[in-house]
Amino acid sequence: MRLYIRHKIFLLGFGLTLFLVIVAFVASFFTYKNRVESKYDEYLKTSIDVAADWLSDLRAKVESYSTSESRSDVVNYVIDTYETIVADDPNYPKNTSLEEYYNYFNSKYSDLYPSASGGAIIGMSRTGPTNRANHASLRSDLVSALSVADGVLGELVYYDQTRNRYVDIVNTMFKFEDETATGDFPGSYKTLTAEDVKIIDYITSGGYTPLGETVRIYNRNYADGSYLTYYIDIVDGDKFVGRIIMNYDKLVIQSTLQEFAIILASTLLGIGVLLVLFYSYFAHLMVVKNVKKLTKTSDKFKDDLLNNKSLEVIKTNINTHDEIRMLSDSFEMLEDEIISYAKRIEEETTSRLKMQSELEIASDIQLGALPTTNLNDENVLIRASIKSAKEVGGDFYDYFYIDDDHLAIIISDVSGKGVPAALFMMKAKELIKSKLMSNEELTKACFDVNNALIDNNKQGLFITAFIGILDVKSRVLRFVNAGHERPFIIGIKDVKQLKVNSNFILGGVENFEYNADEIKLNEKDKLFLHTDGLNESINSNKEEFGYDRILKVLEEDKDLQISDCLNNMKGELATFVGDEEAFDDVTMMIVELKTPKLHFKFVNRGYDIIDIVNNRINDYYSYVDSKVLSEVNIIFDELLNNYVSYEDKEKLVIEIDIELKDNVFIFDIENNGVEFNPLDTHEKKIKEFDPDMPLGGLGIRLVQKLSTDIKYQRKDDKNILKIKKAIK
């Protein structure tokens, strides 16, 4: 996905905002922590002050009260009862129900608890009149003290240092108004755990010493973390006076501070959002707007360039003094360079097109010097192909009759490429042709051509060449191979390369004596000649096409027409080379010696045999008038169509011989079908009309009209038609 500059700027601003929010949350956390600690200190100081005031008030009241009215009797009563009765009582309930605890302590401290009947409390028999009223008054004072200090739970306890216990005297949670009291029962005690002892051992002094007593302060949290608890012990020397336990709702503190943190974070988040918007707008004004200008001008310049419009430098009109202005100046400099480059390209293209046109003309001239048509007469059939690596090349081929019985066949390859090679090729071709046409002996002609090419050859060019003279009557080929690739002989049974004398190139060494070779070609032999551009062509793996591949293609195609053979060779080469660029000219030529007769034999009949026969006739006798060939095609179309369509024999064999002699075509057509004379059927249909007569036979009338003579005979269980057609 493409990220434009405005997107990147937005993401950068968003990242900064996110960082700011994280910092805000971290700051809120530490602020929260500090506020909590501060609140804890505030609660601690308040608790100590309230406890000290309350104890001071309690002492004053104790001193002023009479024995019967003193609330201190409640304390003494509980402590004494604990020490003398409860402390080591084996009947003390452990891990039992709340009701059993209540009943136990009610039995020990009966005048602090309501009677079973709910009546008045019976006075104590020990230290004086202690009753529920004194206990309730003491509890009320503690509740009042808690309300001043925002406390939740308050207790006045006695600490049994010997047994590591504390005994509950007054607990603000204890109520007599319910049917069953709740909270810690007066007189009940709790054994301190190891953690409790540890807390007591590590006393934290708050620095307050009201009434001259030492104040020991420590805190412990409930397991669920819902309350903050301060234990405030009042001691007089080694004597434990009492403990006030102050509970504060911790969740209230946390909730308040969390609200503060949320407000702080929300504020910072809002500031961050505004910062992003401002940052994005600022970036748009300073960057995106100018970048859009650059994009617009560059797009217009590109469109002008693609549409071949007149080019000129387009000003962006950016007046900032930053990197965008530098980029704008670079764009304008680039446009100026592109305009200059485009002008140079246009001039070079014009020059190149002119040169290309001249090369194309040179190529046309060069190709025009080659034979313009394939040779096809009663003696030979020649097909050739040339493909230059550049516009013009150094390969050439030629064939021409020296006299009625002798045909010159030439294929050559000039060293080098391009125009110099093409000019040298033209010179060599004309020299060779002029020497052979003057009936000069072959080796002498090569001697003279060699010396002529050396003369005034400053570029040091030379040619390889195969120069042969074929006697079309005797089929004897006399040739000189001057350093060229050896030709292939394509026979009826096999394909092989000619063995040749070793001769030097033409245009290499002055006065070189050349040796000629001679071979008699068999009937139906074909001669395949090529330049080294064929066997030395390479593919992407740097492998050469090679002689083995040439031989393989020729063996596979030896029974085909020479035009098909030539096309298949070009196709195999193109497949082998692939996309590799040709580095040399490729020239090929096939010479087929014509036989007196064409012969066909078809074992499997089908309508395709009609095209096979007619295509071969048209190719082999292409020098015959096209109207005559068209009429010959009609004759075979009618006859072969009848054989394929109406012959009942399952394994039908058709044999055809075609000969052109003294301007007369002679056709012999045989088949091993059921005896059938189409001429008789035709005569009957002409003389009389029989509705029950089978179809067919009328086409023979057209065959007779197009033929000079036609005869039928049944011989050796074969139907034989002999047809003659004279060439007018």
**Joined tokens for residue 274:** 């505004």
Query: Edge-to-edge strands of the sheet including 517-520?
Result: 395-401, 406-414, 463-471, 476-482, 517-520
- 555-567 per-position pLDDT tens digit: 999 888 888 999 9
- 497-556 per-position pLDDT tens digit: 998 887 999 998 999 999 999 999 987 889 999 999 899 999 888 899 999 999 999 999
Query: In this model, does residue 4 exceed pLDDT 80?
Result: no
CA atoms of 620 and 596, how far apart (whole Å): 11
Query: In this model, does residue 469 exceed pLDDT 70?
Result: yes
Query: In this model, does residue 605 exceed pLDDT 60?
Result: yes
Phi, psi of 101 (to 5 degrees): -60, -45
Report which of residues 360 and 221 the model is more confident about: 360
Residue 593, helix vs strand vs coil: strand
CA distances from 290 to 316, 322, 330, 610 (A): 9, 11, 14, 78
**What is the share, in percent, of the chain residues with pLDDT greater than 70?**
66
CA atoms of 386 and 395, how far apart (whole Å): 8
> E strand or H helix at 717, and its extent?
none
Query: In this model, does residue 152 exceed pLDDT 70?
Result: no
Nearest CA among 242, 241, 217 for reference residue 231: 217
Supply the pLDDT for residue 551: 94
- 319-338 per-position pLDDT tens digit: 666 666 677 777 777 777 77
Q: At what angle do helices 323-369 and 289-306 cross, to 10 degrees?
A: 10
**Joined tokens for residue 324:** 């965008």
Question: Residues near 243 by Cβ (< 8 Å), separated by ≥ 6?
Answer: 155, 156, 157, 159, 166, 231, 232, 233, 234
- 63-110 per-position pLDDT tens digit: 443 333 455 667 778 888 888 877 778 888 777 777 787 788 888 887
Whole-model pTM: value is 0.48
Phi, psi of 495 (to 5 degrees): -125, 135
Residue 272, helix vs strand vs coil: helix
Averaged pLDDT for residues 571-593: 87
Report which of residues 205 and 10 the model is more confident about: 10
**Joined tokens for residue 162:** 């010997």
CA trace torsion 592, 598, 599, 600 (10° rounding): 90
Burial of 667 (0-12, 13-18, 19+ CB in 10 A): buried
Question: Residues near 580 by Cβ (< 8 Å), separated by ≥ 6?
Answer: 538, 539, 540
Report which of residues 645 and 486 the model is more confident about: 486
Supply the pLDDT for residue 203: 39
